[in-house]
Amino acid sequence: MRKNRKPPKFLADHMNGEIAKWLRILGFDCLYPEINLNDREIVEICEKEDRILLTRDRELHSLALKKGLKSVLIKSNNLIDKFREIYSTINLNDYLEYITPRCTLCNTPLKLTDPKDIAQETNPPLYEDIKKRYKRVYYCENCGKLYWEGTHWSNISKTITKIKRLGKSTKNSENIA
């Protein structure tokens, strides 16, 4: 594996918010346009920003391919199966060690820090309890969203483990259709 390979960037269309959220947790730059863009506009953004399209829309998928863009047609409904579809064209594991989690709300890379060192307002607010219990928290400098290893963290890491496992069976990670 080459060192410091540039991680791929993604654009998840409006039906793929769940994928966008999990790609961001893993650390990938994934646009999830809030306004409804038309197919032409989506393809233009992917072209301009070198993003891999993730869509459930066959027409949009073939339009992207015709333009020479990378696109993954998402067919499954289950999160892990959706990621299996992504892994079948690109092995995300090749990049995971170079990237850090991003904000699920705004796609900004998160800062890992001692909660006592955070000066800005956060969402939710930095309760004393969090400052006492956690030496390290993630927060977003852009929108203030705060993340800590709370009770649902074990579910998150279980899901991440399941996603990463998909990478082991991928033979040809560069074969993006």
| Contacting residues toward Zn ion, per CB under 5 A | 103, 105-106, 108, 140, 142-143, 145
Closest CA to 73 of 86, 91, 87, 63: 86
Helix (H) / strand (E) containing 113: strand 111-113
- What minimum distance in Å lies between the beta carbon of 145 and Zn ion? 5
Helix (H) / strand (E) containing 9: strand 9-12
Closest CA to 1 of 101, 102, 100, 92: 92
- What minimum distance in Å lies between the beta carbon of 103 and Zn ion? 3
Cβ nearer to Zn ion, comparing 108 with 159: 108
Bridge partners for 85 per DSSP = none
- What minimum distance in Å lies between the beta carbon of 123 and Zn ion? 9
Cβ nearer to Zn ion, comparing 55 with 101: 101
- What minimum distance in Å lies between the beta carbon of 140 and Zn ion? 3
Cβ nearer to Zn ion, comparing 106 with 112: 106
